[in-house]
Structure 1
């Protein structure tokens, strides 16, 4: 008997046993397809006597189901009572057997990153015959609970897993496929109550909250009145875009785009692709990544691969949906990143959505239901865009 308490050791022992023994029996809560251990198992799948894999919370990779569903020795738990949560690996051969029992699933996290601990037991240990008998019976019990899957069922599972993955990633503080530098409990700004957030908004160092809310109202009313960005008068489009405008002297609030000449020209010329980009973001309701991606497609097409960027894109997004987006620019980005505990590997559209907007959407204050009071409701409707007031740095 020995303790297996490191990712490297776990990989070595699982790989060794899969390759060495003639029979493999497994019962795990979840499995990933993108590990060397799973690929080794696939190469030896004819050895599988019984395998039971759980799917609760859609945490098992759909590719695992796809790779194994035709194997009659493999079954899946799809509707557990409680959570199907065992982690048992049993390997049998002519000369003996070994088993790994502990906390490690057949997942990339368990094999590569997590802190896991398991016991490696074998036929050489005392009372081994009783242990083997119990392990065989337990895996059989799990198998009797499980069922086979069809290809259409796997296809449906894949679609559902895709829907639920963002929620799982948020809970695990994973954004853009990268673990956040700080967990949610370490980031005070994310755990701030609505009451505290509202109070902080009113302590705007430039005493501009009332006027900022008025700017957001002007933009919101413009989108309601004209429907399409292209139908707005030029001066109003300029104000929404943060380029010099005679419509209102506060056009530069929430991010002045006066230094981006190409962008100003497109706004003045009423570029059709910019209009398509802005129009692809709903004025009300949920904003999905599909909406954002469609915005970016049209937005980049407007620039033709030249001089587009997060600052100008996020200005338009923030004015269309200030509850969801913030104009992310050189005057606020350093303090925003510090406040929510992120460090972009690369500042691009994907990072803006995945690492910034998705992380902001996990904040306590952000998830507070819409309040009743007139001012409170106005702050709530512009809560993400108002981060510019929180973190604006004149000297940046």
Structure 2
């Protein structure tokens, strides 16, 4: 019997056992592909007698499932009662010649590279080996009977939902998209754990008169979007107000002189020309973001598909200004005046920020924040701020 506590030892033993034994009987909660142990398994897949893998919480990677589509020796647990959670790996030649790894490790890349795992390696010569062997086989057999062989259609459907669920899974583990974060647990990031009242105290640090002017900008933007079906139907002054460009709209709408709040795009020449020319793709992009209801990653990606057709590259400030004006409850304009403080306060490395990171590392963090999840407005002004609370992060992070 041997205790395995190092990833290197776990990897070494799995590779040895896969090569040494002729039959694999496994049951594991989750599995992934793309690591060296998985590579060994594929090279020796003819030795698989039965493998059962859980897919609960969408933790099993689609790439693993794809490798075993229509393989009758590999099954997946779809809807267990409770959570299918074993990690049992039996390697056999016969009942007198076998080894077993059992413990905390799933068959995942993380288990073999970075997780803290504890497993026991035992064999046919250990105490109570016959009882252990028979009990292990029974557990694996009964699990296999509950599983299902995946078809191409099953895999495609699973992959679609897996893609949708990944940001949720990552945020629950304190990870938001890429590895650019500073590895600070979410419960230690002050900006995420602020209460609504604490958030309001910080917002009003700008002064009540400034906040009133900010609210007016949000109100004007909402009125403009609501009066037309498409952005392109606004006149030039109105489009420039939404886009954060100098405009004479104040001649007709009180408060429009503050168009630069929530991100001035005064120096964005290419963007300014697109707005002046009423480029249709900018309007198509904004059509992808609903005025009410949830905004999904799909909505955001569709917005970017249109936007990047006319401004390919990393035009974060201009794109997020438009987004923040249409849905200030979801988006914040990410620009030169707030990005340093915003990234610092969320524990994000600012370098190489792009549209994907903006969604995963900023917007998802905002959505997971206490003040965002539990707004508790005490009066009409706070209620208006609550309806634009993502955009109002600018009040906390703006650096003149």
Does 2:259 match 1:257? Answer: no
* Corresponding residue of 1:164: 165
* Corresponding residue of 1:143: 144
SS in 2 for 1:218: helix
Q: Aligned-pair distance for 1:275?
A: 2.1
* Corresponding residue of 1:75: 75
Does 2:399 match 1:393? Answer: yes
Does 2:354 match 1:353? Answer: no
Residues in 2 aligned to 1:43 and 1:188: alpha-carbon distance in whole angstroms: 49
Contact 2:366 2:372 in 1 (8 A): yes
SS in 1 for 2:134: helix
Contact 2:196 2:375 in 1 (8 A): no
SS in 2 for 1:52: strand
Does 2:342 match 1:336? Answer: yes
* Corresponding residue of 1:186: 188
Residues 364-373 or 128-137, more deviating: 364-373
* Change over 3 Å in CA distance of 1:260–1:147 after alignment to 2: closer
Q: Aligned-pair distance for 1:184?
A: 0.9
Residues in 2 aligned to 1:273 and 1:141: alpha-carbon distance in whole angstroms: 56
| RMSD (Å) for aligned C-alpha atoms | 2.1
Contact 2:329 2:389 in 1 (8 A): yes
* Corresponding residue of 1:223: 225
Q: Aligned-pair distance for 1:161?
A: 2.0
Q: Aligned-pair distance for 1:382?
A: 0.8
SS in 2 for 1:49: strand
Does 2:280 match 1:272? Answer: yes
SS in 2 for 1:178: coil
* Change over 3 Å in CA distance of 1:152–1:302 after alignment to 2: closer
Stretches of structure 1 that go unaligned for 5 or more consecutive residues are none
* Corresponding residue of 1:90: 90
Q: 1:290 aligned to 271, 275, 298, which one?
A: 298
* Change over 3 Å in CA distance of 1:363–1:295 after alignment to 2: same
Report the number of matched residues.
392
Q: Aligned-pair distance for 1:284?
A: 1.2
Residues in 1 aligned to 2:351 and 2:20: alpha-carbon distance in whole angstroms: 41
Residues in 1 aligned to 2:335 and 2:208: alpha-carbon distance in whole angstroms: 18
1:1-396 alignment runs, 5 A limit: 1-93=1-93, 96-178=97-179, 180-181=181-182, 182-204=184-206, 207-247=209-249, 248-303=256-311, 305=312, 309-344=315-350, 346-368=352-374, 373-394=379-400
Stretches of structure 2 that go unaligned for 5 or more consecutive residues are 250-255
* Change over 3 Å in CA distance of 1:186–1:297 after alignment to 2: same
Contact 1:56 1:84 in 2 (8 A): yes
Q: Aligned-pair distance for 1:59?
A: 1.3
Residues in 2 aligned to 1:233 and 1:75: alpha-carbon distance in whole angstroms: 59
* Corresponding residue of 2:252: none
TM-score, L = length of structure 1: 0.92
* Change over 3 Å in CA distance of 1:370–1:269 after alignment to 2: farther
* Change over 3 Å in CA distance of 1:290–1:145 after alignment to 2: closer
